[in-house]
């Protein structure tokens, strides 16, 4: 049997698992995936690898006593042993007061994240795609280091109440850094898709080459507050920290940027500019996501920030039950609405500002304000009177994405980006922000 | 991470060495017969246990085991690698070796220069075991969970609003064999107890946290045996080769509360006194990483970055990395450290070497296919893979600041400081991709005024440039104050791999460092 099971095969396998169960409740999750990668540096291949992975996880419960066991090969004998093992562990476990029982069958919306084109990617395809990139950098005597990784897989789950869910998906991520031989210029590009047909490594490479050549002989600018235009690759590594901290329990407990004095939260309060709209929608064709969460909840279209107001927070089933509200699962994708401005228009309307193409080494400095630090990297440019004047040396910044979205000037058109910090894909626009805080200079190129 | 198993499975000793040798030979022979000029095999069994609690609840106990084989070869001058899970037969081993050779031959077409491997003698059949006193995997899970719950109770009794605590345990059972004639069996143990305490002021809605001052160690459960000789007293108690988690949580809860009313720092230049529980991370980021030879050469340019410490600086023999007080040492032998092993993951016996001597850059960290680039005849023995399924590559050894040669205590060091900050514990950290500009936070900050501790500060972070910072080092305390810090999770490579590494130092003083105030309003 293939590692990637069809919906019917996954269902049959899970039914077999559930038949062995003798516990009060049982829930089984399976996944299968194949990954391949090609890594290169100094204009030649450095490493390549492939990974085939499958896993079955069985959770058995007796009341609030829960045990989990997993296996990575699916013979009948192994499956039965796995179920028995999870039952033994459940009997031995202390009661978990936060355990909630398995869900009734659910209805899931349709999401199409599996593309045959991507599923067919093999070592030859990767070598060709990388060769198209390498030829361009070699021809201009530039030094390339890049990474191409493709993945195909599925997840499925079933429980003793009859719930069944299945979701197949594919993805390809390509990242590239091009440097000038004297080490004075560096440019970067990242591309992520579900459908590999959209990946053009040569076109992407040209962007990295342009940034690398354009960033040579950078001049130093005084640190301070500047208007910035953040390309989506730069903006996302700041904004994703907002989504990661949308947990209702932390907010209720008073230890989140969404907490307020007296045990209250900022739910239904305006926290950023009214043009900010952030939501998730697994059925978005440009950014498909899983229609169900790991515990079987349907993941539907959900607004997180609407017109600058916090509309929803993530509620685990336990925390929702305790607070008598509806559970809200963590989203499987995040989308930020944009405006109509092009990058050219945003630059043209800037009297004095900085174009930031990438940010690096983002770390939280203060969880209360979501203050983050990090640096610009691989192409930072000074804008004066509507035109890019020259490259500038990199800066360290200390800024909160919440403050940043209050200082919003303009939003561009959303595009799919890969976070260089978390590797997750998002749909977000480029944005112009005033009074962005740069605190010191860096000599790094 | 591997499959989830019962705790009793950890007591199973795994396959016998004779069985592993037979499996390894099958792969080595197959690789050679397919045309490999070199091959190595790593049979790995990786055991992990995490005990996770909050306040009065055990949230989760996770036991995992991962077992498989990675085969690496050189064919037509190029590396090839293949990995197989749950290997049971010699036929599976031979197939993995053949796959690795096929990949090497395919990628050879894209190579411009063949791999050059520093010669390495074979060691025959040898073994190494971490010198642990008590195997943490043999301690009943209940005893570990009870310890964490008592730690949480102590924190809550002393004013904490919330407390999370975790015990991480790792056991790597690694068998290495190569066509050089080595068959190396190693047993590596690691332990890391941590907590995070939150204190909230309900009126203002402000919250502060205090993390454990423990260190991850290459030790067994003996690290949790309380012994007064492992305690360093002072403004707060810190720990050496034994950790009193209960005592630290008690102090931590009080300090998290104290932070709520502490004075917010005034930005400016200060002399910094950095405790080893803090300085390890600055050493890691500003010395450990820039002196990795693969970064210097550009192999990590697309992700982790390159390095300011270029070959010409090293070749000049006078690049002043730091002041004369600064001696930075790479060491894969240090007892109790995370990096200590007998042999690295390509069969090289481990050692200790200078990176920065009397302030001058003298060496890098290099493995077998890099040694020739810096004119050396042998590897430094710092090659590592985080799993049987990952390709081994150059990873950071323990990199430590040598203790000062002149007797000097922390109290004596503080006496001479007019305007300073004493920082204990690690916090937020960020550094640029060539390792020039960095910013670090911490856990506890104490203002020093005219040679005396004047009280607690908050909202502190310092920014500097690596060379400027290490040249501002004016004093290092003597070896009585020497302690290890470190991390289980040093990330590098694509796909990313984690490595565990320790960094030792005594308390050190750095003059005139730029301190910023991190308080904001949203």
Where do the structural domains in chain B lie, given as residue ranges? Answer: 3-137+164-190, 192-261, 268-517
CATH number at A13 reads: 3.30.2290.10
Question: How far, in Å, CA of B416 to CA of B37, rounded?
Answer: 61
Is A76 contained in some domain?
A: yes
Tell me: do A225 and A251 sit in the same domain: yes
Q: Is B424 helix (H, G, I), strand (E, B) or coil?
A: strand
Among candidate residues A158, A178, A212, the one where a domain is terminated: A212
CA-based nearest distance A252→chain B, Å: 11
Write out chain B residues lying below 8 Å of A255, CB-based: 161-162, 198, 200, 207, 209
Predicted local confidence at residue B84, as pLDDT = 86
- Assess A442–B contact: CB distance below 8 Å, yes or no: yes
What pLDDT is attached to residue B2?
A: 62
Are both A253 and A335 inside the same structural domain? yes
What is the domain range of residue A189? 7-212
Q: Residue A97 burial by CB count (10 A; 0-12/13-18/19+): exposed, middle or buried?
A: exposed
A46 touches chain B (CB under 8 A): yes
Return the beta strands (E) in B10-161 as ranges.
Answer: 38-54, 57-75, 78-85, 124-129
In this prediction, the residues of chain B whose per-residue pLDDT falls under 50 are: 1
Cis-peptide, bond into residue B495, ω within 30° of zero: yes
Average pLDDT per block of 10 residues along chain A, 445 residues long:
91 98 98 92 85 89 92 89 90 88 96 96 91 95 97 98 98 97 97 97 98 97 98 98 97 97 95 98 96 96 98 98 97 97 97 98 97 98 98 98 98 96 96 98 97
**Helix %, strand %, coil % for chain A, to 5?**
25, 40, 35
Domain-terminating residue out of A189, A212, A235: A212
Do A55 and A120 fall into the same domain?
yes
- Nearest C-alpha neighbor of B218 from the set B369, B71, B357, B397: B397
Residues from chain B that touch A43, judged by Cβ atoms under 8 A, are 112
Do A206 and A123 lie in a common domain?
yes
**Which residues in chain A are closer than 8 Å to B494, comparing Cβ atoms?**
37, 39, 147, 149, 175
Instruction: Give the β-pairing of A164-179 and A143-159.
Output: antiparallel
Q: How far is the alpha carbon of A66 from chain B, nearest alpha carbon, in Å?
A: 10
B439 contacts chain A (CB < 8 A): yes
Asked if A204 and A250 sit in the same domain, the reply is: no
Does A98 contact B at CB distance below 8 Å? yes
Pick from B48, B25, B17: which is nearest to B185 by CA?
Answer: B17
What b-and-e string marks burial along A173-195, b requiring 16 or more CB atoms within 10 Å of the CB? bbbbbbbbeeeebbbbbbbbbbb
Instruction: Give A19's contacts (C-beta < 8 A, 6+ positions apart).
Output: none
Cβ contact A108:A165 at 8 Å: yes
For residue B103, which phi and psi values (nearest 5 degrees)?
-65, -45
Interchain CB contacts (distance < 8 Å): A and B: 198
Please, what is the end-to-end C-alpha distance for chain A in angstroms? 50
User: Same structural domain for residues A229 and A139?
Assistant: no
For residue A269, what pLDDT is reported? 98
Q: Give the pLDDT of residue B60.
A: 85
Mark yes or no for CB contact B522/A361 under 8 Å: no
Residue A40 lies in a domain: yes
B430 vs A contacts (CB less than 8 Å)? 361-363, 373-375, 396
Q: What angle do CA A415, A421, A427 make, to 5 degrees?
A: 15
**CB–CB of B303 and A175 under 8 A?**
yes
Q: Strand, coil or helix: what is B421?
A: strand
Residue where a domain stops, chosen among A179, A212, A245 = A212
Same domain assignment for residues A264 and A137: no
Q: What ipTM, to 2 d.p.?
A: 0.94
CATH classification number, B3-137+164-190, choose in 3.10.20.30, 3.30.2290.10, 3.30.200.20, 3.40.50.300: 3.30.2290.10
Kindly state whether residues A69 and A180 are assigned to the same domain. Answer: yes
pLDDT at B262 (0 to 100): 98
CB contacts of A363 in chain B (<8 Å) are 428-430
Which of B71, B284, B494 would you mutate first to test chain A, the one with the most A CBs within 10 A? B494
Q: Are residues A198 and A85 in the same domain?
A: yes
> Are A280 and A424 members of one domain?
yes
Q: Are B398 and B334 in contact (CB under 8 A)?
A: yes
Cβ-proximal residues to B39 (8 Å cutoff; 6+ apart), any chain: B27, B28, B31, B32, B71, B72, B73, B74, B97, B100, B178, B179
pTM score of the predicted model? 0.96
* Minimum CA–CA partner of B308 in chain A: A444
What CA–CA distance (Å, rounded) separates A391 from A377? 11
In chain B, residues with a C-beta closer than 8 Å to the C-beta of A42 are 297-299
Q: Are residues A170 and A314 in the same domain?
A: no
A positions 263-292 inside 8 Å of B (CB): 263, 271
Contact A368 B206 (CB under 8 A): yes
- Cβ(A177)–Cβ(A190) under 8 Å? no
Stretch (H or E) spanning B344: none
**Would you call A3 an interface residue with chain B, using a CB distance cutoff of 8 Å?**
no
State how many domains chain A has.
2
Assign B254 to helix, strand or coil.
Answer: helix
A62 CA: distance to closest CA in chain B (Å): 16
């Amino acid at each position: 049997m293939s590692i990637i099971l069809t919906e019917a095969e996954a269902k049959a396998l899970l039914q077999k698992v559930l038949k062995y169960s003798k516990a009060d409740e049982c829930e089984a999750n399976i996944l299968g995936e194949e990954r391949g990668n090609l890594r290169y540096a100094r204009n030649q291949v450095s490493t390549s690898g492939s990974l085939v992975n499958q896993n079955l996880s069985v959770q058995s419960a007796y009341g609030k006593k829960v045990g989990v066991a997993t296996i990575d090969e699916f013979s009948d004998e192994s499956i039965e042993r796995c179920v028995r093992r999870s039952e033994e562990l459940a009997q031995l476990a202390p009661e978990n007061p936060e355990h909630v029982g398995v869900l009734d069958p659910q209805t899931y919306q349709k999401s199409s994240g599996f593309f045959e084109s991507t599923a067919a990617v093999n070592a030859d395809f990767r070598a060709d795609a990388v060769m198209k990139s390498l030829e361009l950098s070699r021809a201009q005597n530039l030094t390339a280091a890049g990474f191409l990784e493709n993945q195909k897989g599925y997840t499925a789950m079933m429980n003793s109440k009859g719930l069944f869910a299945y979701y197949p998906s594919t993805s390809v991520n390509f990242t590239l850094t091009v440097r000038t031989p004297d080490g004075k210029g560096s440019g970067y590009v990242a591309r992520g898709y579900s459908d590999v047909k959209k990946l053009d490594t040569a076109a992407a490479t040209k962007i990295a080459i342009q940034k690398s050549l354009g960033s040579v002989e950078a001049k130093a600018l005084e640190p301070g507050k500047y208007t910035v235009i953040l390309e989506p690759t730069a903006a996302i590594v700041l904004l994703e920290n907002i989504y990661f901290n949308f947990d209702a329990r932390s907010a209720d407990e008073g230890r989140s940027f969404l907490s307020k004095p007296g045990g209250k939260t900022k739910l239904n309060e305006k926290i950023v500019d009214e043009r900010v709209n952030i939501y998730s929608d697994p059925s978005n064709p440009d950014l498909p996501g899983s229609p169900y969460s790991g515990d079987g909840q349907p993941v539907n279209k959900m607004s997180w920030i609407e017109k600058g107001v916090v509309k929803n927070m993530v509620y685990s089933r336990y925390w929702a039950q305790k607070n008598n509200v509806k559970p809200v699962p963590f989203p499987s994708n995040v989308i930020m609405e944009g405006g109509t401005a092009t990058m050219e228009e945003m630059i043209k309307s800037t009297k004095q500002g900085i174009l930031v193409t990438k940010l690096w080494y983002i770390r939280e400095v203060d969880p209360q304000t979501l203050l983050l630090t990090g640096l610009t990297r691989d192409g930072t440019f000074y804008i004066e009177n509507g035109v890019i004047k020259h490259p500038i040396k990199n800066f360290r910044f200390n800024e909160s994405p919440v403050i940043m979205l209050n200082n919003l000037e303009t939003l561009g058109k959303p595009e799919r980006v890969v976070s260089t910090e978390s590797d997750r894909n998002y749909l977000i626009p480029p944005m112009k922000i005033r009074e962005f805080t740069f605190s010191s200079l860096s000599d790094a190129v | 991470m591997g499959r989830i198993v019962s705790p009793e499975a950890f007591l199973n000793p795994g396959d016998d060495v004779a069985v592993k040798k037979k499996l390894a030979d099958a792969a080595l022979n197959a690789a050679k017969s397919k045309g490999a000029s070199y091959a190595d095999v790593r049979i790995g069994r990786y055991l992990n246990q995490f005990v996770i609690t909050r306040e009065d609840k055990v949230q989760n106990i996770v036991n995992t085991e991962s077992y498989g084989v990675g085969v690496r070869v050189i064919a037509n001058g190029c590396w090839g690698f293949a990995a197989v899970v749950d290997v049971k037969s010699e036929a599976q081993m031979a197939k993995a070796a053949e796959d690795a050779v096929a990949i090497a031959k395919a990628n050879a077409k894209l190579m411009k220069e063949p791999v050059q491997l520093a010669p390495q003698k074979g060691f025959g059949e040898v073994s190494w075991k971490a010198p642990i006193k008590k195997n943490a995997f043999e301690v009943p899970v209940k005893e570990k969970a009870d310890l964490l719950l008592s730690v949480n109770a102590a924190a809550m009794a002393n004013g904490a609003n919330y407390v999370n605590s975790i015990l991480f345990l790792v056991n790597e059972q690694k068998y290495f064999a190569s066509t050089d004639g080595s068959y190396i069996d190693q047993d590596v143990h690691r332990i890391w107890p941590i907590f995070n305490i939150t204190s909230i002021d309900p009126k203002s809605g402000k919250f502060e946290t205090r993390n454990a001052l423990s260190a991850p160690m290459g030790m067994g459960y003996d690290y949790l045996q309380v012994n007064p000789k492992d305690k360093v007293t002072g403004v707060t108690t810190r720990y050496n080769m034994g950790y009193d988690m209960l005592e630290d949580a008690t102090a931590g809860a009080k300090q998290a509360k104290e932070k709520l009313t502490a004075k917010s720092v005034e930005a400016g230049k200060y002399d910094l006194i950095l405790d080893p529980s803090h300085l390890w991370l600055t050493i890691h980021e500003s010395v450990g990483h820039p002196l990795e030879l693969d970064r210097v050469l550009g192999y990590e340019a697309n992700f982790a970055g390159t390095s300011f410490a270029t070959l010409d600086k090293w070749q000049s023999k006078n690049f002043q990395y730091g002041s004369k007080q600064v001696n930075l040492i790479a060491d894969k032998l240090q007892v109790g450290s995370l990096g200590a092993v007998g042999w690295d993951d390509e069969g090289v016996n481990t050692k200790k070497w200078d990176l920065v001597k009397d302030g001058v850059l003298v060496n890098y960290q290099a493995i077998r296919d890099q040694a020739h680039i810096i004119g050396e005849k042998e590897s430094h023995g710092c090659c590592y893979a985080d799993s049987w399924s990952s390709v081994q590559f150059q990873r950071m050894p323990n990199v430590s600041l040598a203790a000062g040669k002149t007797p000097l205590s922390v109290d004596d060091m503080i006496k001479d400081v007019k305007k300073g900050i004493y920082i204990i514990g690690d916090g937020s950290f960020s550094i640029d991709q060539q390792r020039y500009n960095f910013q670090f936070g911490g856990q506890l900050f104490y203002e020093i005024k005219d040679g005396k501790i004047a009280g607690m500060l908050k909202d502190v972070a310092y920014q500097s440039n690596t060379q400027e910072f290490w040249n501002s080092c004016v004093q290092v305390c003597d070896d009585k104050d020497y302690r290890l810090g470190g991390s289980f999770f040093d990330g590098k490579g694509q796909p990313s791999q984690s490595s565990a590494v320790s960094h030792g130092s005594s308390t050190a003083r750095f003059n005139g460092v730029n301190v910023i105030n991190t308080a904001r309003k949203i």
